Amino acid sequence: MHPLLECLHAFLGGFIYEGGAVPQMGSVAAGTTAMDYEPEEHHRKISIQTSLCQIPWNDAALNLLDNPGAPSFQAEAKQATHVADAVLWVFNASAGVKTELEKLWEYAAERSLPGLFFISGLDREGTAWATLVEELEKALEIKTVPLSLPIGQQTSLEGVVDLLSGEAYRYGADASGRRQKAEVPAALGGQVEGARKKLMEGAAEADDQLLEKYLGDGMLTAQEILQGLKSGVTTRSLFPVLCGSAGKNIGTVEALNALVALLPSPVERAAAHPVQASKLGGSGSIQLSPDPTAAFAAYVFKTIIDPFMGRLNYLRVYAGALAPDTGFLNATRNVREKGGRLFHGVGKKYTSIEKSVAGDIVAIAKLKDTQTGDTLTSDNAPLLIPKPPLPRPLLSFALEPKSKADVEKVSLGLHKLVEEDPSLEFVRNTETHEMILSAMGQLHGDVAFEKLKRKYGIEVNVHTPKVPYKETIRKAASAQGKYKKQTGGHGQYGDTWLKLEPLKRGAGFQFVDEIVGGAIPRNFIPAVEKGVVEAMHEGILGGFPVVDLRVTLYDGSYHDVDSSEMAFKIAASMGLKKAMEQASPVLLEPIMTVEVSTPDEFMGAVIGDLNSRRGRIQDTVPKAHGTIIKAAVPLAEMLKYSSTLNSLTGGRATYSMDFLTYEEVPREQAARILEEQKAAKAGAVQ
């Protein structure tokens, strides 16, 4: 199981338990955690979607969003980060600072979100608290301060010292698993004193007045330490670190206390970083204030289709208030909606509420036209809350139903999956005639196909998509296309002379009529063009579409009785194929613009691999913690690139890919492609 996720699941389980939402701790291994409830999550012991968790703590209401950490599902984390006010990063001590944590850190940095770190799994062999904190500071280039210290090491971990209060707590002394106050071990006296000094210094450096007092008195009160820490956290100049063991619930209470004491409320966050919404019609922008009496405004960051609750949309309410069974405007789609019941949730358990106010996270039922990314507002105050840019899916699967009876059901089922997970993309490729599902990775795709079977009873065969090759010509050529047939009565007669000329790449198709003197009657000219266009659907090399050429109809003849539109269509298609044979036909392949973001130590390996894929390196751009490599690479060489890149870089590199142009396929590759196409057609006929 993924170590980052394992500790996160158990950690949230501790939050829910301590907050009173469940009577006992769940188990990751047993699949009984409240936050992971889909069969695909139980099977893999990972999160695959964002889950809601609302709990009360210290007179505050905490809206928590449990996000997947695996790369295949980080679009979920991106959407959740977009509506968050702060972040708690949880990582496993035995795994260290991994790529997933770095990516989640980047998402938060994009929005200047403050946060805390919790290092879990300190009860495992080979873990060292101090080393991990140093690794964290180095990897993310941040300044940290400790909020707690472990009591005991590795398998002897028993509890933590809360550095804010100076008190020690041991866990697991009774069946409840909850903490009990204890004496600070004498052996930790020096460490505690040093850590509290670092904590005090960090608080002082975050506030000029506190720094002046600290330099003068050498001491700060507990309240002043909290004041300084909160200032440093809010400005992201300071990142407190907590420790414990999620599986044993060690350190959970200290983390909850820190969340409430140090992270900003919706009001505080809005004051420092207000959400800028755009007015409809391009008439400027407006800052949203978390005022429950203001006009209603909310953003939809998640959609789920629950087997019992039906369709639910998760909202972040930014302004105003919302009651059940009330109407409002979907400003994104300009349609009125009437919502149903409102819910708070803990995993799959939903509790009805009577009102949701600014700052709240809520699930709403019965919205008909609302999708993830939409803005909901009062009728008289329409505006749009910006959407986050989501990572593009990188791995595509061609699929077909195992049962022909499921052809239409496949499309409907996949559209519903895309509703729940916009990082999936589903299209019907009109060139290859395949149904294509694109996902963030192999795991993402596998989960989608499992859901398709479980939710909608549809099984599919999956294979690598075909590359949409095309054909074109290199030089001009002319040929006659003549169709003549006697059938006893009226015959068929059509005669065309066509000239083909190559056009620049991407120019498409041009048809030119140069018939003069009535060589072909005007009413048959459209049939000639139609015959040419239909013939271009299958080129003479491998049956691929023909592009980028001008076809000129310059001569021909007709028969008063036997000529027809059909005859001229057939004649035109014959003429096109004959002319192409003389026009140096070539095979074209799609070329993609590829950008790889990689740590510098892997740059050479990544560039070498791209070169081996017939890629051309266009540029290398330095960035924080690495380099962006820009290249042009044939699509045929990129179909399974994600797994290779993960292997080359230990999962620490990411990439994006967009269509650039079509280029000629080198002769050797073209011969192989055409031979494979010929064999595939022969196999289909048998």
In CATH, what number is assigned to the domain containing residue 559? 3.30.230.10
Residues 6+ apart with CB under 8 A from 215: 204
8 Å CB contact between 360 and 406 = no
Note the pLDDT of residue 11.
Answer: 61
Last residue of a domain, one of 583, 617, 634: 583
For the segment 29-49, the average pLDDT, to the nearest whole number, is 61
Residue-averaged pLDDT of the chain: 89
Q: What is the DSSP letter of 385?
A: P
Weakest mean pLDDT among 93-97, 295-299, 403-407: 93-97
Residues 265, 142 share a domain? yes
Note the pLDDT of residue 406.
Answer: 86
Nearest Cα residue to 628 out of 598, 658, 668 = 598
Residues 328, 245 share a domain? no
Domain that holds residue 421: 395-463
Residues 613, 557 share a domain? no
Q: What are the respective helix, strand and coil percentages of the chain, to the nearest 5?
A: 35, 30, 35
Q: Which residue has the higher pLDDT, 50 or 683?
A: 50
- Whether residue 281 has pLDDT greater than 50: yes
* 207 located within any domain: no
Note the pLDDT of residue 33.
Answer: 53
Q: How confident is the model at residue 666 (pLDDT cuts 50, 70, 90)?
A: very high
* 14 located within any domain: yes
Q: Report the predicted TM-score, pTM, of the whole model to 2 decimal places.
A: 0.83
- Whether residue 23 has pLDDT greater than 50: no
* 177 located within any domain: yes
Note the pLDDT of residue 6.
Answer: 39
CATH number at residue 435: 3.30.70.870
Residues 435, 368 share a domain? no
8 Å CB contact between 239 and 259 = no
- Whether residue 504 has pLDDT greater than 50: yes
Last residue of a domain, one of 528, 549, 583: 583
* 390 located within any domain: no
Residues 539, 657 share a domain? no
Residues 371, 245 share a domain? no
> Distance (Å, rounded) from C-alpha 355 to C-alpha 104?
32
* 377 located within any domain: yes
Query: Residue 564 corresponds to which tokens in the numbers above?
Result: 């027809």
Could you report the per-residue pLDDT of 204-252, keeping only the tens digit for each?
Answer: 999 999 999 999 998 999 999 999 999 999 999 999 999 998 878 899 8
Residues 248, 106 share a domain? yes
Weakest mean pLDDT among 273-287, 353-367, 494-508, 608-622: 273-287
Residue with tokens 């892997």: 602
The secondary element (H helix, E strand) that includes residue 267 is helix 266-272
Note the pLDDT of residue 433.
Answer: 87
> Distance (Å, rounded) from C-alpha 532 to C-alpha 568?
10
Note the pLDDT of residue 16.
Answer: 67
- Whether residue 8 has pLDDT greater than 80: no
* 208 located within any domain: no
> Distance (Å, rounded) from C-alpha 117 to C-alpha 136?
9
Could you report the per-residue pLDDT of 137-190, keeping only the tens digit for each?
Answer: 988 899 999 999 999 988 888 999 999 999 999 987 665 667 889 999 999 989
> Distance (Å, rounded) from C-alpha 398 to C-alpha 463?
5
For the segment 660-674, the average pLDDT, to the nearest whole number, is 95
For the segment 383-401, the average pLDDT, to the nearest whole number, is 91
* 218 located within any domain: no
Residues 379, 520 share a domain? no
Q: How many structural domains are present in the chain?
A: 5
Residues 299, 258 share a domain? no
Q: Which residue has the higher pLDDT, 346 or 22?
A: 346
DSSP helix/strand/coil, 483 = strand
User: In this structure, what is the dihedral angle of CA atoms 7, 10, 15, 17, given to the nearest 10 degrees?
Assistant: -160
Last residue of a domain, one of 384, 416, 436: 384
Amino acid at 296: F
Could you report the per-residue pLDDT of 65-95, keeping only the tens digit for each?
Answer: 988 877 788 889 899 999 999 999 988 887 7
Query: Residue 69 corresponds to which tokens in the numbers above?
Result: 């950490």
Amino acid at 368: K
Concatenate the DSSP letters of all residues of 532-556 into one string.
HHHHTTS-TTTSPPB-SEEEEEEEE
Amino acid at 122: L
Nearest Cα residue to 18 out of 222, 171, 156, 123 = 171
Note the pLDDT of residue 7.
Answer: 40
Residue with tokens 């065309």: 496
Amino acid at 666: P
Q: What is the CA radius of gyration of the chain?
A: 32
Note the pLDDT of residue 36.
Answer: 52
CATH number at residue 101: 3.40.50.300
CATH number at residue 651: 3.30.70.240
Could you report the per-residue pLDDT of 595-648, keeping only the tens digit for each?
Answer: 999 999 999 999 999 999 999 999 999 987 789 999 999 999 999 898 899 899
Residues 6+ apart with CB under 8 A from 342: 322, 323, 324, 352, 353, 354, 355, 356, 362, 363, 364
Note the pLDDT of residue 1.
Answer: 32
Residues 539, 424 share a domain? no
- Whether residue 479 has pLDDT greater than 90: yes
Residues 357, 479 share a domain? no
* 189 located within any domain: no
DSSP helix/strand/coil, 29 = coil
CATH number at residue 305: 2.40.30.10
- Whether residue 104 has pLDDT greater than 80: yes
Residues 626, 542 share a domain? no
8 Å CB contact between 86 and 239 = no
